[in-house]
Chains A and B, each alone.
Chain A
């Protein structure tokens, strides 16, 4: 029986004197889990460790009940893993079909006919069935992103690790990705690292906010939204007491922080909660989380 969980215990990745991931302990089961955090928070380092391409400096990691430090078990994990890196390099002289076919061979699919069927299936799933024969160098950024997504779906993996999958996708493609990831997450572990709080709101049952290599929030999107309850207000002019503020399309000023007594409070969004926890002035907010 497969252990359908990921367990991290004191997981650390150190580069010189800096901890990119600083002793993280988590357990993740089936469903879509979102990973939010600013640049340099350690998301990609964590995703790489979960995709078995980067070894931790310290701590324990179990993926699907297996130990990635053991070569045999690591290979078993990789047989059930789909990984889309943050910057998926593609062989640009290949066609979309050829590249996904190439990755399918790396995934030990040697029977030509069955492999080609699988390649067609995943390209269809990401909406690229009409450009299979086109060279990658002639495809748009969004299409290339979807090729990277397609290769991760090969072999119907149990563990899917997507690092910023919606970057450079247009709204329709993002919606399609959400549908796909959501259906995959019904039975599999799907991890999505993203900067897009809307993706998290629309897609994830669970969200983890990272800052400085550590998890500063772990809960549902609704709970993340609730972090900013009674701490978001709008005003006609900028309030210098706010932790963060920005001008809205209507010309008013939206503020996040400790509101003044006469503030016009508004419903918070996930983005407000995220900014309080991991935004540029969030250092003191960790304790509140």
Chain B
């Protein structure tokens, strides 16, 4: 190499102050000239280099978000919350697809038979319960024990996941309800039971495992609807005003218990 870049130009390049064509010219020369590379290194601002390298690493190594996580971020959910939700089985595509299939069968049953709408009213509130049962707990979260030893409150994690599950299942059930034959107000009668059962499952989770809480409530819900139907001979009794008031009251009481028992959940939190 018979020539070298002038020192003041190398210094400006190292500081990031050289214009585009000049910087390009220097960069073309540097790979073949160890002397100039050494001089650039002497002028380099190490803090700036570290920052640039961190930026490159960040771009290269930052994980690509999965479809659910990516969708949540696009909806405005903070990136770290989306990652917490990405670890939720009940928000994975396979689970959501299963929910869609169940709802499709419920709609099909309603279209074939007059009393089939009861099937839809029973099933729609069960979906968030099933989702919450699969969202948090030692049996369903492989990293449960690792999570317990972390400072984030367990109840906060359960709540975030439960809200996400409720939101997704509500959206899916709403779309399914619009496909019910002879659309009328009764098609929305699953909303209050859904909310009441979700809140009740969270309130019960302070006293038993999330899976057990959801199981108990699911059983109680099915028995209540079927018994009310058999006793009154009105298949849509639960969808009527009395049923809706009871479900609304359940939601309010469960919400109050939930607020009161937050610490109890944390106290109980841990392995048996």
A interface residue numbers (CB < 8 A to B): 48, 51-55, 71, 75-76, 78-79, 81, 83, 85, 87-95, 97-99, 101-103, 105-108, 110, 112-113, 115-117, 120, 132-133, 148, 151
Contact = CB atoms under 8 A, between A and B. Distances in A.
A106 B57 contact: no
B79 A120 contact: no
Contact of B150 (A78, A89, A92, A117): A78
Contacts of A120: 57, 61
B149 A83 contact: yes
A103 B80 contact: no
Given A81-B149, A94-B87, A117-B54, A102 B143 contact: yes
Contacts of A75: 151, 153
Contact of A116 (B61, B157, B263, B267): B61
Interface string B49-84: 000001001100111001000000000001110011
A98 B270 contact: no
B270 A53 contact: yes
Given A53-B148, A108-B151, 18 more contacts: A52-B149, A53-B149, A75-B153, A76-B151, A83-B146, A85-B146, A90-B142, A90-B143, A92-B142, A93-B92, A95-B63, A98-B86, A102-B83, A103-B150, A106-B150, A113-B54, A117-B54, A133-B63
A157 to B, nearest CB: 10
B266 interface: yes
Nearest to A115: B80
B142 A91 contact: yes
B146 to A, nearest CB: 6
Nearest to B268: A55
B267 A71 contact: yes
Interface in B92-111: 92
B147 interface: yes
26 contacts: A48-B145, A48-B271, A51-B149, A71-B263, A75-B151, A75-B153, A76-B151, A83-B145, A83-B146, A83-B149, A89-B142, A89-B144, A90-B143, A91-B143, A94-B87, A98-B63, A101-B63, A102-B87, A103-B147, A103-B150, A106-B147, A106-B151, A106-B157, A107-B151, A108-B150, A112-B79
Contacts of A85: 145-146, 149
Interface residues of B, number: 34
Nearest to B81: A105
B271 A91 contact: no
Contacts of A112: 79-80
A116 B152 contact: no
B141 interface: yes
A239 to B, nearest CB: 45
Contacts of A148: 146
Contacts of B86: 94, 98, 102
Contact of A53 (B66, B92, B142, B271): B271
A241 B149 CA distance: 48
B260 to A, nearest CB: 15
